[in-house]
A and B are shown apart, each in its own frame.
Chain A
């Protein structure tokens, strides 16, 4: 017990330090938490004979809570009214984004000789942009006040909904997809059946949810909120259904309960702590030498998916009637990948094949590290990107 507590303390020290470094350098915390996990994990510090944090059950559980809370908050922010208000633009820009990037990832996976499920996992990882990193960079750069922020944030909302559906499907494929088509069909039916029931409960149970949280005391409020979302997510996982998607739906249920802002105010720090542990835990499980094995898919993915996101984002900007200049910024702004690619990687790690257990998680870590850094740099230097692209275009037109 003493050893466990010490180890957990060590983990918190590393998180605090990497967080401080991120703040100092003006970087996103997500990649740095991951790197912190890699460095003090069994594969680096462990091999060097230094004190290290093992990937134990306790940390895995806390990381799992991190996933649940990340998706719960996503659901909270997700109001159908909001989507309805900007329906046609968001869905058109979002559809372009989905139809360009997800199939591209699947094709890359298939070209590498992976199975359909493995390729589908790769598709998800390269498709989903990082809401956290993109939104923070938008604010840091002041783009938040400019027209390009609307298609960017709108497309992120679309992706959030798409990822809920995607996770629901992929979880049942990964966890139950070994026994042929019939088994896959059955696990998909269970998943969508459970989620359908949950959606109905959330839709009609809003008043019940509201009453559960009708309490002034801050501590009671936080505990009750967690006591609703965590057991439901756990029940989902026990049935082989995505716990993340269950948490997302519960969040959606609360979004209309009138408690949304209170939940956000009181639980944000709780979420941040567990999410940090999740990112750290992803790092713990990453063997840097396996990054070498993932180097080929990594290079291919970075080279192909970066321009693909820029192009799909550019087209999304055009849907919103933005100028070339602003549309290009939409494209550049969608490049960073982060938390959800890692959620997919965590899911892949529970799969049965060697590609799922080893290659995809390492690939995802490497990919998120590269794309979060590359994406933010591209956003900061978007003027350069623009000059490069539009000069070439006008030169092409001249000749």
Chain B
């Protein structure tokens, strides 16, 4: 991806972002803080204004686009960052998951991935610190702790995604 920057004396700055198919996204940042966003379908066509935002709103929308509030990588799970690389993850067990009907020990999830199940939520019931003989049922939500990669592997194994 190439971003072109140019000065607009007396107005502000212009950034052009190459999109697929020769189109460009053009962002004009005024000295007043106003942002105008245009799309130019091809080099020959005229820019078509999409919308404009004031400074505050532009920053908020920018943060959203950046993914600071929400990362759509795993939409079935919610993860919370604890330390630099330790995450808490909620994983829902679907009906067709391979681990349904197995105990935690039989599933060998911890041995394979390195992430541990610390809570099993089943309807209104909360099983804390489940042992190796705790049974995994369809519809359970497993709360998992571990390194980011371990949790990602865990999610992949359980959901088959």
Contact = CB atoms under 8 A, between A and B. Distances in A.
Interface string A143-176: 0111001100110110000000000000000000
A145 B14 contact: yes
A138 B38 CA distance: 14
Determine the main DSSP class of A at the interface with B. helix
A86 to B, nearest CB: 7
Contact of A146 (B7, B10, B11, B40): B40
Contacts of A145: 14, 26, 28, 36, 38, 40, 47, 49
B10 A156 contact: yes
Determine the main DSSP class of B at the interface with A. strand
Contacts of A82: 7, 9
Interface size class of chain B, counting residues whose CB lies under 8 Å from the partner chain:
10 to 19
B57 interface: no
Given A145-B36, A145-B40, A146-B40, A85 B28 contact: no
A150 B6 contact: yes
Nearest to B47: A145
Contact of B47 (A77, A131, A142, A323): A142
Contact of A77 (B9, B40, B48): B9
Given A145-B47, A146-B46, A86 B7 contact: yes
A149 B38 CA distance: 14
A154 B40 contact: no
B76 to A, nearest CB: 40
Contacts of B156: none
Contacts of A85: 7
Contacts, number: 50
B8 interface: yes
Given A145-B49, A146-B46, A157 B40 contact: no
B31 interface: yes
B50 to A, nearest CB: 10
A146 B47 contact: yes
A153 B8 CA distance: 7
Interface string B25-52: 0101001000010101000101111000
B41 to A, nearest CB: 12
A149 B47 CA distance: 12
Contact of A264 (B14, B31, B46): B31
Interface string A126-139: 00000100010011
Given A146-B46, A264-B31, A139 B11 contact: yes
B10 A135 contact: yes
Contacts of A156: 9-10
Nearest to B24: A145
Residue of A131, A144, A149, A323 with highest tally of chain B CB at under 10 A: A144
B5 to A, nearest CB: 11
Contacts of A77: 9-10
Interface residues of A, number: 22
B10 A131 contact: yes
Contacts of A261: 31
B10 A153 contact: yes
Contact of B8 (A142, A149, A264, A323): A149
A150 B44 CA distance: 16
B11 A142 contact: no
Contacts of B31: 261, 264
B30 to A, nearest CB: 8
A150 B28 CA distance: 12
Nearest to A323: B44
A340 to B, nearest CB: 13
Contacts of B6: 150
A369 B161 CA distance: 69
B38 A153 contact: no
Contacts of B10: 77, 131, 135, 153, 156-157
Given A142-B38, A142-B47, A144-B14, A154 B28 contact: no
Contacts of A150: 6, 8
Contacts of B44: 323, 325
Contacts of B48: 142
Given A145-B14, A145-B47, A264-B31, 7 more contacts: A138-B11, A139-B11, A139-B36, A144-B36, A145-B40, A146-B46, A153-B8
Interface of A: 77, 82, 85-86, 131, 135, 138-139, 142, 144-146, 149-150, 153-154, 156-157, 261, 264, 323, 325
Interface of B: 6-11, 14, 26, 28, 31, 36, 38, 40, 44, 46-49
The 10 closest A-B pairs by CB, nearest first: A145-B47, A145-B38, A145-B26, A157-B9, A153-B9, A142-B49, A146-B47, A77-B10, A135-B10, A144-B28
18 contacts: A82-B9, A86-B7, A135-B10, A138-B11, A139-B11, A139-B36, A144-B11, A144-B14, A144-B28, A144-B36, A145-B36, A145-B40, A146-B40, A149-B14, A153-B8, A153-B10, A156-B10, A261-B31
